Structure 1
Amino acid sequence: MAPLAQVLASSGLTSVKTYIQTGNIVFRHAEPDASGLSALVTRAISDHFGFEPAIFVFRHSVLRRAILGMPFADLDHQNSGATLHIFILDGAPQSSDLSRLKRLLAPDERFHLSEDIAYLHAPSGFGRSRIAGALERVLGVNATPRNWRTITALDALANVDE
């Protein structure tokens, strides 16, 4: 991920840090508009690497809100890091029919939607969860899921320069 960080730094982003190999990037930039930043990152990657990935940009305050708003207080977050997932939505859901999503829940799963953040506890695994695969379609909005470990690691990276 070092080449990606270098490309983004040369595109005007500062304090660029990456986390694991899945495209998690923390950075600073004066641009207040997430869609403008998304276009900047997409263009930089396309120009340098020759492909245009889907880019999802959100502020650190969204991560903080997701962490502080965790509805499953009874979970041991340290030991549930791989089974506890947060979906950051690209805006408000277009559909508020949560009954469709709740019907997809496995008996051991829990789901909660709060504005533009969805929470899923999937003890049997994210890949086995039917709700994980249907969330964007049912809500009518793009989303990026991350497990709890990744969310807290990105939060820690973002806190370094604050």
Structure 2
Amino acid sequence: MKKYCAFLRGVNVKGTNMKMAEVCKVFSDAGVQNVSSVLASGNILFQSDKDSVELKKILEKAMSDHFNYEAFLFVKNEKEINEILKNDPFPSIENFHNYIFLGLEKVEETLLEEFEKSSKAEDEKAKIVNNIFYWQVPKGQTLDSNFGKVLGKKSLKDKMTSRNANTFEKIINKFGK
């Protein structure tokens, strides 16, 4: 059985409030095993014999049916998550956040185009590595930066989700247990 993490989009923001214990129950009821959550932002660890594509369909339907909203999530296996964090091109720097974006195919190219068009905070950076978009931004500038404001566009929001690199570290540490 493979270890996976489902990254839910839009959880506990703008009226979509969910208790992670209830989300874990929905996942278990959908047929995956050893379900647990990391933080309250929609990171659900589990195990399954199925592949990511099939799991995405099953879990989105289960979440949509249970919570009566259009669920949207990305499923990555343990190896992929380790690779994504390992490939982060930006070192961890005090007073900066490193964000990792998971999205539909080619969304990373749109994100980079939008980033390049935006005015930037000092030392704000972005890069694509292996089809994953990485963004480093000074703490306190995430929502105030021009690029941060672009991320709220509906045309982008519905295609991706992001997590702080620290969240990826917590997920990897929990996989090890």
Q: Equivalent residue for 1:52? A: 70
Of residues 97-106 and 109-118 in structure 1, the stretch that sits farther from structure 2 once superposed is: 97-106
Superposed, which structure 2 residues align to 1:83-162 within 5 Å?
Answer: 83-93=97-107, 95=109, 98=112, 100-104=114-118, 105-123=120-138, 124-134=140-150, 142-160=159-177
Asked if the contact 2:108/2:128 (under 8 Å) is kept, the reply is no
Partner of 1:37: 55
Deviation at 1:152, TM superposition (A): 0.9
1:151 positional shift: 1.3
- Percent identity of paired positions between Structure 1 and Structure 2: 23
Cα-to-partner distance string for 1:21-49 (whole Å, 9 max, x where unaligned): 221111111111x2321121122123333
Specify the SS of the correspondent of 1:83.
Answer: strand
TM-score w.r.t. the length of structure 1 is 0.77
Q: TM-score, normalised by structure 2?
A: 0.72
- 2:152 and 2:132 map into 1 onto residues whose CA distance is 12
How many residues are treated as equivalent by the alignment? 154
Deviations 1:107-136 (A, max 9, x none): 331111112211111114321232244469
CA distance in 2, matches of 1:85, 1:150: 9
- Which residues of structure 2 form unaligned runs of 5+? 1-19
| Cα RMSD, aligned residues only | 2.9
Look up the match of 1:61. Answer: 79
Q: SS of 1:72's equivalent?
A: coil
